[in-house]
Structure 1
């Protein structure tokens, strides 16, 4: 009898502790995830985000023991998806965070339907996609210094294209203009495709485009790459110097992607997800797939990702304000 009541008392104490939240996080982490995970992407399928997400989702589902399915939800420069996921409290929804939604939109929009810091938990930086600075091959410039000299000697004559207002390519060019104190006229397009058509046809002079979309044209000489926006040279273009190397120290322009969870995700679950995401991106198979598309796998801790987001916000706040970049 005594033995039985002791067990019962222990069970009651344990129940009280569990309801007070003392036991539950550990147990929650052991049982999380209890169903498949929805990975929301704030873009239409295609483009640089696609390869990063598909590769990560596949490896992530293997390491976390539940399927991870991708749901594309474009609209409002990523704000539609961010707003929806900020409010998701099913503990099984995550989102692809990137330069636009986290570091640019806060300064480009007068009012955001989400708070990029308060509403989300950074999980892990996944990959960086190098932004390349390109010119049409018949433009008489061979490097960044020559482009800048040409722009100064021919004011308002050079045109540069982008995939739209506030797009990564728009930011990359405005950042270069700011750093080099030059002027080039912006021609926004509806997407990377139409912009490339005009650049390849010589109707545009300059553009900054994510590496995956243009590597084939550089290799065949249809476009000339003057510089990479990365901190170090990239393996696919070992002879092309970085912007930083060509006289602009600390200049870095990459499109980057990471995983965010709603701030309501329990901390043990977030930690478990972060470990799995970093492991997924560091798999040799993942690295190979990303490298094939000229993306650089990163994978890090939530603290590292949070610090990176803060640095990027400082960088882009200045550019957006100076260039008076407004959404379409």
Structure 2
């Protein structure tokens, strides 16, 4: 009779246990991935998220669905996803939730740097400065002069405190010395409803969400926050061209996972996300809405976030932007 040593038995048993675990790890994702968007439908955030989700669904082995969770400048969704431990929940991070909220709120229900792992920078979207057609200003210089002639009488809307649109207009206010009252909404969609109806005079919105309204004449674009004119709006000068050299305002959106997500899953998700955002389909789809598809590594996105946090901490402090 052949005798089996204790060491051989132990090694064999360990191999039997390890095999199923390895197979399970490689099977990720094992169910649909929930991609949470911390804002209401209708804005650039949803356009970017749905583009990324559509491309990911083609290659990652499961469907990826967008789940809008607006409220509290994105804090509600960020808190929920920070606590998610199902390995199948990710969130759309952006300039507000990652680079502004940490300095705008005295206390946050999440830690932007510790509770999440960067996955990939998805896209950048130029901020457009627009007015309702009834506003008697054809360009940025005329608009600034109009606002200064009517202090505190004109209003601008945003998707909420700390949103990209809020920051873009406050940044312009700092550069120009004008004062215009801020009206925060629960997302770009509700804000656009009032802007299109003329209940708001102005706004700064990501190009993806409003370029069609500009082309149809429902809104007038008086400046772009990009460093150069957009191919889609070649006749609209940049803010820098209109007397504010060096001015740049671009929104950005990336994918984050809870810090509890396994690194192997992060790596797979990042690789497929980069592949998707660099695909011809994603580039062409986003280009139609004046958005730039990016797709970066987790390390590149982490470095990008750190630079943006330093930049916007100064803006929030100088403009005294506080949560309301």
TM-score (norm: length of structure 1): 0.83
Report Cα offsets for 1:117-166 as digits up to 9, x if no partner.
01111000112232211133454544333433444455445433334433
Moved more, 297-306 or 249-258: 249-258
1:285 to 2:281 alignment:
yes
CA–CA distance in 2 between the matches of 1:295 and 1:153? 34
CA–CA distance in 2 between the matches of 1:219 and 1:186? 26
Q: What are the residue-to-residue correspondences of 1:1-328 with 2, within 5 Å?
A: 8=8, 11=11, 30-137=26-133, 139-152=135-148, 154-189=150-185, 191-192=187-188, 195-196=191-192, 198-200=194-196, 202=198, 204-328=200-324
Query: Does the CA contact (< 8 Å) of 2:32 and 2:88 recur in 1?
Result: yes
Query: Does the CA contact (< 8 Å) of 1:172 and 1:253 recur in 2?
Result: yes
Distance change in 2, residues 1:75/1:220 (3 Å): closer
State the Cα distance separating 1:93 from its structure 2 match: 1.8
CA–CA distance in 2 between the matches of 1:248 and 1:311? 22
Aligned length: 323
CA–CA distance in 1 between the matches of 2:2 and 2:35? 52
Report Cα offsets for 1:199-225 as digits up to 9, x if no partner.
445554432122233223322334321
CA–CA distance in 2 between the matches of 1:258 and 1:3? 58
Moved more, 270-279 or 66-75: 66-75
CA–CA distance in 2 between the matches of 1:316 and 1:298? 21
CA–CA distance in 2 between the matches of 1:127 and 1:305? 11
CA RMSD of aligned residues (A): 3.3
Moved more, 300-309 or 158-167: 158-167
TM-score (norm: length of structure 2): 0.84
Aligned to 1:286, what secondary structure does the other structure show?
helix
CA–CA distance in 1 between the matches of 2:162 and 2:36? 21
Gaps of 5+ in 2: none
Distance change in 2, residues 1:136/1:102 (3 Å): same
Aligned to 1:226, what secondary structure does the other structure show?
strand
Distance change in 2, residues 1:4/1:36 (3 Å): farther
Query: Does the CA contact (< 8 Å) of 1:28 and 1:269 recur in 2?
Result: no
Moved more, 261-270 or 210-219: 210-219
Moved more, 192-201 or 112-121: 192-201
Distance change in 2, residues 1:31/1:47 (3 Å): same
Distance change in 2, residues 1:36/1:205 (3 Å): closer
Query: Does the CA contact (< 8 Å) of 2:70 and 2:186 recur in 1?
Result: no
